[in-house]
């Protein structure tokens, strides 16, 4: 295994961008099925407008330049080429912080958050509450190599992350994650409890199981019933779909940019707690940068391994090796989360209308991260 860390720069060939534009100009559009609004999926009129903007208004080269403004690197760990951002703060004593993105997202999830963490003074916060930020791309996502065989696990990713932080020279650091990252971030603490000072999870800890339902209070039952009505609980079951036939669906996502855009749009709409359209909750260019990254790296199929290498769905449980904080309690319940976690931070009322809240509310997420990690530095 080589310990070499190599500088990396995004340089998408122009031919790939021309091919994308050509495909977007030759879409074979289906008719609109009967049914109101989004009841049958992404409406044709909505997607046509979004695809037209992707083709004629969106500027990949501008976004590529923005992404290249973050120092990026590649290194090989556990036989995997790992792509990561490493943005050091100029503030002495800054705490290293490892951010893990979710699915179907990428390191793009954190582009609005990074500056607020590395240079809080520039955003009106205490300059001393700064972080050195490390953002790896999960294997199979974006520029990180896909797993070469079956049986790849969250625990294996956590081991890679711990080695990455060791290789960067960090002996104490925090971990953060939401969605897939909510499984990975606690697993890093289990792998490296002497190095991790705290785990911060966006949400999802303490979700009730069937066995918990009889013990729930009346208030918990009301909150749980409300959760059952939300889009993200009733949309396309991507876990089951990608367990069953990921290769089959990957053909469409890999060959048709509109098929890929429709899939991403469907999921980002379902992941909106408020039911808002995806590009009204999250910046449209940021959404399209994430879709473009998947398209241009051909990773719609390889990023599905958390689902196809599983036998069922389970909510993240967390860990008790180090203190845990959350950004938002729902959909979980603190009483249940405390069975598997030492919860020291569970605020009420943090704003957020989307599952990927760091893209929607970077100021509030940065502020809450500073609050949680302040006593742990």
- What is the C-alpha separation between 255 and 261, in angstroms, rounded? 11
Residue 31 exposed, middle or buried by CB count within 10 Å (0-12, 13-18, 19+): exposed
The catalytically annotated residue of 308, 309, 340, 363 is: 308
The conformation of residue 114, written as its DSSP 8-state character, comes to: H
Question: What number of helices (H) and strands (E) belong to the chain?
Answer: 17, 9
Per the annotation, the verdict on 183 as an active-site residue is no
- What is the C-alpha separation between 43 and 284, in angstroms, rounded? 17
How many other β-carbons are positioned within 10 Å of the β-carbon of residue 363?
14
Per the annotation, the verdict on 179 as an active-site residue is yes
Task: Answer yes or no: are the C-beta atoms of 320 and 341 closer than 8 Å.
Answer: yes
The catalytically annotated residue of 129, 179, 285, 368 is: 179
Those residues whose C-beta lies under 8 Å from the C-beta of residue 336, and which sit 6 or more positions away, are 206, 207, 208, 212
Tokens representing 126?
Answer: 């205490």
CA dihedral (125, 133, 105, 290) in degrees, to 10, reads 80
Per the annotation, the verdict on 22 as an active-site residue is no
- What is the C-alpha separation between 349 and 356, in angstroms, rounded? 16
The catalytically annotated residue of 173, 183, 355, 368 is: 355
Find, among 272, 265, 252, 270, the residue nearest to 291 by Cα.
265
| Angle subtended at Cα 232 by Cα 230 and Cα 236, rounded to the nearest 5 degrees | 125
Pairing of β 72-77 and β 95-100: unpaired
Helix (H) or strand (E) holding 144: none
Q: How many residues does the chain have?
A: 377
Query: Catalytic residues, which ones?
Result: 179, 308, 355
């Amino acid at each position: 295994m080589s310990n070499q860390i190599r500088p990396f720069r995004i340089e998408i060939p122009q031919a790939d961008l021309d091919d994308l534009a050509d495909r977007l100009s030759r879409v074979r559009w289906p008719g609109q099925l009967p049914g109101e609004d989004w009841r049958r999926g992404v409406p044709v009129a909505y997607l046509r407008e979004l695809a037209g903007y992707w083709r004629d208004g969106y500027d990949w080269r501008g976004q590529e330049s923005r992404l290249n403004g973050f120092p990026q690197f590649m290194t090989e760990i556990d036989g995997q080429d790992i792509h990561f951002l490493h943005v050091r703060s100029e503030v002495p004593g800054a705490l290293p912080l490892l951010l893990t993105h979710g699915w179907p997202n990428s390191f793009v999830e954190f582009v609005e958050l990074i500056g607020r963490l590395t240079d809080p003074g520039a955003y009106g916060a205490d300059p001393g509450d700064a972080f050195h930020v490390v953002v790896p791309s999960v294997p199979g996502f974006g520029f990180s190599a896909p797993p070469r065989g079956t049986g790849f696990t969250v625990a294996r990713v956590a081991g890679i992350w711990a080695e990455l932080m060791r290789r960067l020279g960090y002996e104490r650091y925090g971990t953060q994650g939401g969605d897939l990252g909510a499984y990975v971030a606690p697993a890093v603490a289990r792998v490296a409890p002497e190095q991790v000072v705290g785990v911060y999870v966006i949400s999802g800890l303490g979700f009730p199981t069937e066995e918990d339902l009889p013990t729930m209070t009346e208030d918990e039952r009301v909150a749980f019933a409300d959760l059952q009505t939300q889009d993200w609980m009733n949309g396309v079951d991507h876990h089951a779909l990608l367990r069953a036939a990921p290769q089959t669906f990957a053909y469409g996502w890999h060959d048709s940019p509109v098929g890929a855009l429709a899939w991403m749009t469907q999921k980002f709409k379902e992941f909106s707690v408020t039911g808002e359209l995806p590009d009204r909750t999250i910046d449209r260019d940021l959404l399209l940068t994430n879709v473009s990254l998947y398209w241009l790296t051909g990773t719609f199929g390889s990023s599905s391994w958390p689902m196809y290498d599983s036998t069922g769905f389970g909510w993240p449980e967390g860990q008790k090796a180090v203190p845990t904080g959350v950004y938002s309690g729902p959909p979980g319940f603190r009483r249940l989360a405390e069975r598997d976690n030492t919860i020291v931070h569970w605020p009420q009322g943090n704003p957020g209308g989307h599952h990927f809240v760091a893209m929607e509310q970077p100021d509030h997420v940065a502020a809450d991260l500073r609050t949680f990690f302040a006593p742990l530095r």
